[in-house]
Each structure stands twice: as C-alpha cells, then as structure tokens.
Amino acid sequence: MELTVADVIGLPVLHRGEPEVLSARRFHDPIRWVHVSDIADLSALVEGGELVLTTGAALRADPRRYLQGMAAAGVLGIVVELGEAALPPDAGRYAEEFGLALVALHREVRFVEITEAVHRMIVTDQFDRVDFDRRVHETFTDLSMKRASLEGIVEAAAGMLDEPVVLEDLAHRVLAVAGVPGGGPTAVLLRDWEQRSRRTAEAEHWTTTAVGPRTQEWGRLIVPRRSADASRTRMVLERAGVALALHRMIERDRSGLTHQAQTGLIDDVLRSRITDEAEVAARAHALGLRSSARYVPAAVRIDRPIPATDPVVGQRHNISLLDTVMHAVNASGHTGLFSVRRDGEIWMVLSLSVTQPADSALSALGAELRREIRRVEAVPDSALAVGDSVNRVIDAIYGMGEAAHIAEVALAMNEAHRPYYRAADVRLRGLIALLRSDHRVQAFAESELKALLAGDQANIVVLGEYLRLAGNKAAVAARLHISRPALYKKLAAIEAALGVDLDDGESRTSLHVALMVLDAQRLRRPVEISTEPAHAEIVDPYT
C-alpha cells in the first residue's frame, strides 16, 4: 500500500516532535520520497511528490514565496522543526492556499531517523510492488499457457486482490464471478447487476478495465466496490484482461482448427485412407488425445425439439454443442477426439482420467454432459453412449458408429435416464431402431395395434405398462394410479379389441415388439388417463 503524508505524520518518530498540523491539504496523497533541505528554492532538486523536512529558515524569511515555490516544484508538504523560533502566523493560510501540507514540530527530532523510517517503508513498498507485479505476470502467463478457462482467470484475479471480481459482456451480463466476500452467496453480489453496472459504477468507485483489443472490446472486468489500492487493483485487472482476450482469440481459432483436424483424422480412418495404428495414434496424440492403455468410443446425441431449417443456423448449433461437449470432457480431466457427424450428434474417442475407475468416470462425465448441455444448449434431453474400450485408437474410431447408434436408441427409450448407455442397455430396442424404417416392420406394428390406434389412446398406455411390468397387475395399477377393478376392465377391453389373450406369452411378445416399433418411430406420446379413486383392498403382488 502506498505511503501517504498522513502515514508519515503518524510515525512514532514524528510523534516525539509533538506535531501540529497547520494545513492538512494533500494529507492522503502518496509520497514518492523525503527530502531534507533549508534552501529557499528546491525546484532543481525535487521531481514532485516529495515531503520536505526543514528547520524553517527560508520559510520564516518569506513564507508566501517559499510555499508558492514548493507548490510549483510539486512538493506535497513541509515538516518544519520550530526550535526556539515560531512560524509567521500566515504560514498555515498560505499552505492551504497553495495546496500544501504543513506540519510544525514543537520538539527537536533527528531528521535522519525520519528519513530512514520513511525511506525504508517506501523501498519496502516498492519492492513489494515489483514482487507482486512479477507474481501477477507469472500467474497470468502460466494461465494463458495452460489455456485456463474464463472462470479460472477471473478466480486468479480475485485471489490476488482478495476482492470480488466480475467479468461481464457489453450488455452487462455476467460471464464469470469470483471472490465473493466471506464466501457468501453470489446472488447478493449480483443483485440487480445489469442496472447497477450501467448506472452506478462511477458513483460507487468501482475499478474497471476493458477486455479485448482496442476498438474491439467484448467485455469488462470489474471490482464492484472501492478498492484500498486502486493502482494495484487496476494493474491486476489489466493483466487479467489481457489473459482473457488472449484466451478468447486462442479458443476461437484453436476450436475451429482443432475441430477440422480431428474430423479429418476420423474421416481418414473411416474411409480407410489410413490403416496404420502407429500413424493414427501419433496424429491423435498430437491433436490432444492423451496416450492411454484403453480408449473408449463414445457419442453424445441431443433431442432438439425443433430442428433448424437454416443450414447456417444448424451448423452454429452443432459447433456450439461441440464446444460444450469438449469443455465438459476436458473439465472432467479427460481428453478426446471429437467430430460432428450429424445434426445434434457428436462422436468421440475418449482417453479417461486414471484417477478413478472407468465406470465412475463415465457416470460423472455423463451427468456433467447432461447438465452442461441442458444449461448451454437449452435442449430437453441428451444421451451419452459408449462402446467397449479398446487398446488401439483406430479400433476406437471404428467403434464410434456403434456408440452413436446406442445414443440414438437411448433417446427413444421411455425409461429413467442413465448417466451413460452401453449396448446391453438398449438390447431389443436397438434392433428395432435399426429396422424401424422398413415398411414391413411398420406394417407389422400397425397390424398388431390397429384396433387400439383407432380407438381410445389411453389403452395403449395401459397396454405398454402391462407389458413392461411383465403382466404384474398390482404393479401396473399402482404405476397408473388406478384401482385394480378399473385395470381389469381396461385389460378386458384391450383383449376384446385386439382379439388376443394377454396371458399368452407369444401374444405379449408380439404386442411388446409392436409398441417398441411405435416408440422408435416417435408415434406414441404420453396420454392422460382418467382415473378413479382406488378402493382399499388387499393387494396380491403375484397376481
């Protein structure tokens, strides 16, 4: 922290001189140095920002001229040792007039002790500043080299300043925040942020710096309160701003180039232009895939409610999805090759972190992907699917197609979400998904369920739950929140409409497959079922 005139006057060595403040002007300005002199004209000896110690001979001779000359030379203030002679009565008024601090010492003190104490503090502060500047430079250089996230850079700035730091865009929307005082809720700091940032930044003495190249700024870094050391705060924010601007440029360019390179490698393998594992592995590792004993083929697929009709918009959506998936994978400690293959579908070869078992790592990654995709892409559902891990990169690339098929089927399944899916999780539905476009399969499903499709759609829901729960009527009634007599009535109506016996195993299988075909084609939608109060009765779980 910079040393001010008030700090010097408060030193114990000066207190022994019984100081009397005749003018408090510039008391809170930082001192550059302390100079001892009794000559009347110091203009050739000072550079501005000094505090002058004197016995007052020149001051007593002509106080107005002396103080005016000191002010013109840039001196901050005068400390005069009175000794036996008093100062002229107008000295304090002249000091106020010329904007100088003036302090009279009524007892003799050793000026050398004052200069030693002050210079020691100034040099120590300067050394601390140089050391702090070095640490700031090294920290943000290291973060830039490691391609730290926006959040990581903002957190580093907040940690160095021990102040809250906010990164906002030009619309005053918060992109990142760190260093909330006392670890309190971020919501308190960011309450009415947009309005406060627009209207009160200067009034509340916030420290701000623009982020981005000159004339192309895309955001601001802000310490949203008065800083105890504004120059240090501004320096840290400026260094952090440079790191953020560099991060944005690198990520924007690197994302495009890396995506093209990784997609090119995957295409070369799938089209058999490269068949040598050593070459494939070398290129993959150079593109960021960590060398590992096992590689996992994987795919992420999302369910877009309304596909983009504009190809340009669709491409932007897919690039955004790719960035989201890459960020989630890298943030989880894994590495991978990534490629957009179809709308809403990302193929991957993963090299998992060795810090946890593969199943735990995939479960955590699946949960993180679903959370980030829902947050960033605003889509209702997504699925991560993986194939069997292999020890060659080229085999993992070939396995991505199977993973993509599993992901597509997983989205069509009306079941509780899993963190990730394997082939064993889709089974018969996977086969049906492959055959769903076959007109013979479609005709089979229509033929099996024709009577229900043309009648009460609620019966399709009842039949689906009955077959899914293997004919356990008590469980079906509980699942649908209807009484068992009501369920028996509905099942009898279904049997009559279809002309089948629901206790017959082959009939159940045939109907279940037909319903799966409808699921795969997305022809079936949830239907509200009219319910009636369930009567109290003893439930036989084996019925």
- Find the CATH number of the domain harbouring 429: 3.30.70.270
102 and 192 share one domain? no
Write down the pLDDT at residue 56: 81
Where in the sequence is the domain holding 505, given as residue range(s)?
A: 439-523
Cα atoms in the Cβ-side hemisphere of radius 13 Å centred on 17: 25
Domain closes at, from 384, 401, 435 = 435
How far is 252 from 162, CA to CA, in rounded Å?
30
Angle made by CA atoms 406, 412, 418, in degrees to the nearest 5: 65
The neighbour count for residue 241, using CB atoms within 10 Å, is 23
160 and 256 share one domain? yes
| pLDDT tens per residue across span 341-382 | 888 899 999 999 888 899 999 999 999 998 888 888 878 788
In a domain, 200, yes or no: yes
Write down the pLDDT at residue 186: 64
92 and 152 share one domain? no
Write down the pLDDT at residue 414: 54
Element at 130 (helix H, strand E): helix 111-145
454 and 403 share one domain? no
256 and 302 share one domain? no
Lookup: tokens for 411:
């989205």
Write down the pLDDT at residue 538: 31
Helices and strands: H and E segment counts in the chain: 21, 13
In a domain, 313, yes or no: yes
How far is 262 from 187, CA to CA, in rounded Å?
40
In a domain, 216, yes or no: yes
250 and 203 share one domain? yes
Q: What is the CATH number of the domain that holds 513?
A: 1.10.10.2840
In a domain, 541, yes or no: no
In a domain, 460, yes or no: yes
Write down the pLDDT at residue 399: 93
| Adjacency order of strands within the sheet including 381-386 | 335-342, 345-351, 296-303, 381-386
For residue 43, CA distances in Å to 25, 54, 64, 92, 380 come to 20, 15, 16, 21, 74
In a domain, 530, yes or no: no
264 and 308 share one domain? no
300 and 363 share one domain? yes
390 and 475 share one domain? no
What is the full DSSP assignment across 421-438?
Answer: B-GGGTHHHHHHHHHTT-
In the chain, which stretches have pLDDT less than 70? Answer: 1, 181-187, 200-203, 250-257, 305-310, 312, 413-416, 430, 433-434, 521-543
Percent helix, strand, coil in the chain, to 5, is: 50, 15, 35
In a domain, 464, yes or no: yes
Q: Which SS3 state, helix, strand or coil, does residue 126 take?
A: helix
299 and 422 share one domain? yes
464 and 409 share one domain? no
Is 234 in contact with 207 (CB distance < 8 Å)?
A: yes
- What does the H/E/C string look like for 487-521? HHHHHHHHHHHHCCCCCCHHHHHHHHHHHHHHHHC
21 and 88 share one domain? yes
Domain closes at, from 121, 136, 162 = 121
Q: What is the CATH number of the domain that holds 70?
A: 3.40.1390.20
Domain closes at, from 387, 418, 435 = 435
Domain count of the fold of the chain: 4
In a domain, 286, yes or no: no
